[in-house]
Structure 1
């Protein structure tokens, strides 16, 4: 029995004197996080600079990037679980092995735009391995789409604030505060820009992996994305 791939292209949709780290609760509301994570390859955080619009801008970037980073972690885990389930080294090998080991079932990878899923027929008495493969493929699709969908908005926000970095630094300097407070704010805003630039680099890595997954799926489906 040959493996059938179907496709239908479509468009995707501190400590000491430092201020507390901030993370957004919603698009227009700030909240203090219960935990700060600033690992080299993990979440980012922003510090208060005492300029409302700028604080909100940093918070929005933090929120959008950290959501994308969560999806990246899920994507990596889905890939690992799928490879573990099929005992293969690549996604392509995974789907091909499923067909070879379950020749009594019609296994089809459906792809419509950025949506893809693994269908199995008949639906009765589906082996545990195939059920797990379906679950992992579904999560793979959700995280891949989320990473790609978040990227345009994230890059626009990052580029906008970075291009006006000097202007924002001057704005923070003009805040009516004591010298000590001003130095604290300036240190915070400089740290924020470092975090934002780190987010831009990491986001590129996340997007590259997501596109790599789509490329593998598309190759199996016989289309180009």
Structure 2
């Protein structure tokens, strides 16, 4: 779910057209998006552009949620199985539960931990199965959505000058223009950062997938 920050209100005075002296304007400090944090956007008061920013934020924030899930699953798998990484985790599961037929099944970007027989499965082995399912879902989302997000950000970046002019056209008050264009600048910087971070999430998810494929003996 996106975080939508409406930090700007329309001016009460529609005739507000006299600019402040440039010498007293203080450059706005833009808070840069951090890895693993949700993307908060600000209104630019042009519906078609605001809708695009919301769409990007929703897609990115869904990635953040799945990235958090990916990290949580990897950490908990290691904790449950007293392991250091995914490969040693599976090795320890196979060793500890040798009376079960343990297999990693992989189909496309989907993978899971198969256990036979599937009755009376020990609690920690069941927990490992559930964590693998969650890890698979998160990995698939992160890999599948990165290209879409990158394309959306690139497309919007090409329209920056057009957006600036449209904001000024639909918001004639000078102070409104200053604030809304600042919001645009902040949004553009943060969606560019979101695009970069999205690539990092995808790279980590791809590394998980490569490890799973290696363990399963599957070529990808």
Alignment of 1:158-173 (within 5 A): 158-173=153-168
Match of 2:109 in 1: 114
Q: What are the ranges of 5 or more consecutive residues in structure 2 without an aligned counterpart?
A: 10-30
Match of 2:133 in 1: 138
Q: Does 1:200 align with 2:195?
A: yes
Q: CA deviation at 1:164?
A: 2.1
Q: Does 1:97 align with 2:92?
A: yes
Match of 1:72 in 2: 67
Deviations 1:182-216 (A, max 9, x none): 11111111111011111011101110111011000
TM-score normalized by structure 1? Answer: 0.82
Assess if the C-alpha contact under 8 Å between 2:32 and 2:189 holds in 1.
no
Assess if the C-alpha contact under 8 Å between 1:45 and 1:62 holds in 2.
yes
Match of 2:52 in 1: 57
TM-score normalized by structure 2? Answer: 0.83
Distance 2:43 2:68 in 1: 27
Match of 1:148 in 2: 143
SS of 1:143 mapped into structure 2: helix
Q: What are the ranges of 5 or more consecutive residues in structure 1 without an aligned counterpart?
A: 1-13, 21-36
Q: CA deviation at 1:38?
A: 7.6
Match of 1:157 in 2: 152
Distance 1:128 1:18 in 2: 49
Assess if the C-alpha contact under 8 Å between 1:172 and 1:186 holds in 2.
yes
Match of 2:8 in 1: 19
Could you say what the CA RMSD is over the residues aligned between the two structures, in angstroms? 2.0
Q: Indicate the structure with greater strand content.
A: 1
Number of residue pairs the alignment of both structures matches = 195
SS of 2:193 mapped into structure 1: helix
SS of 1:174 mapped into structure 2: helix
Distance 2:171 2:126 in 1: 62
